[in-house]
Amino acid sequence: MTVHVLIPAAGSGRRMGTDINKQYLFLGDRPVLAHTLSLFEKHPAIDKITLIVPLQELDFCREEVVERYRFSKVQAVIAGGKERQDSVRNGLQACGADADDVVLIHDGARPLLPPDVVDEAIAAVQRCGAALVAVPAKDTVKEVEDGMVVKTPDRSRLWLAQTPQAFRYQLIASAHEKAYKEAYQATDDAQLVEWLGKPVAIVSGSYCNLKITTPEDLLLAESFLRQVDEEE
């Protein structure tokens, strides 16, 4: 069995509001995306990485990230699509996985994933076929319509989805193909498997595994990173 990682990194980072794509902003000594790739490059359970970037950034990313930091597990750098779901689908088609291989899908914009969560996600796929890394909601969540609260879901049942999300290749590839044919849009990959009526196991993530989205996330990430460096 081969363990593949797909890294969707083909967004434009609009909410960060910087001229360069947020994934090339430096966090400590390296770009955000290089931290994300390092994590899997160093992880013994990971065999192959497929990186998905905007079409116009293919050369830049190959030269300034993959070659510069010598990521030897990156077997392909390919172009993404309009939505994240399109980018992941391109990655699934390009990665060359066999039906029973495990595929982890992890946002390029999440550079602080603890390595043990990767092992737990792989183990959960072996038990259940699909696994989602998530953390319990800390804040109370309100459902709102026209500026008015309509519902307060029971917080003890709410978890916030992160990545990696991990699957048997056959399961996630068929979910994506069906969604494409039927024009079904989900906000994460696990939702496509739920839509097929198949079980998805929860793996406890970390509050440090934040997605770099807006400028304050970079400040938080800098301080988490300093803490990790001190512990090492």
Options 6-14, 133-141, 178-186, 200-208: segment touching ligand CTP (CB under 6 A): 6-14
Which SS3 state, helix, strand or coil, does residue 83 take? Answer: coil
Closer residue to Mg ion in complex, CB, 11/54: 11
Which residues, 6+ apart, have CB-to-CB distance to 203 below 8 Å? 117, 120, 121, 124, 131, 132, 133, 134
Going 129 to 132 to 133 to 136, the CA torsion angle's sign is negative
Instruction: Write the interaction track for Mg ion spanning residues 6-25; mark x where CB under 5 A is met and - where it is not.
Output: -----x--------------
CB of 84 to Mg ion, least distance (A): 6
Taking contact as CB under 6 A, which single stretch among the options 12-20, 66-74, 116-124, 169-177 is the one that binds ligand CTP?
12-20
Residue number of the CB closest to ligand CTP reads 11
Asked if 14 interacts with ligand CTP (CB under 6 A), we say: yes
**DSSP letters along 150-204, please?**
EE---GGG-EEEEEEEEEEHHHHHHHHHHHHHTT---SSHHHHHHHTT---EEEE
**Could you tell me which of 107, 44, 52, 92 has the C-alpha nearest to residue 74?**
52
Report the nearest approach of ligand CTP to the CB of residue 1 (Å).
26
HEC sequence for 211-223:
CCCCHHHHHHHHH
Minimum CB–partner distance for residue 201 and ligand CTP (Å): 22
Of these partners, Mg ion, ligand CTP, none, which one is at the site of residue 92 (CB under 5 to 8 Å by kind)?
none
For residues 68 to 97, the per-residue mask of contacts with ligand CTP, x marking binding by CB under 6 A and - elsewhere, is ------------xxxxx--x----------
Q: ∠ at Cα 112 (107, 114), nearest 5°?
A: 105
Least spacing, CB of residue 31 vs ligand CTP, in Å: 12
Q: Which does 28 bind (CB under 5 to 8 A by kind): Mg ion, ligand CTP, none?
A: none
Q: What single-letter DSSP state applies at residue 71? A: -
Could you tell me the smallest distance in angstroms from the CB atom of residue 82 to ligand CTP?
A: 6
**Which residues would be at the binding site for Mg ion (CB under 5 A)?**
11
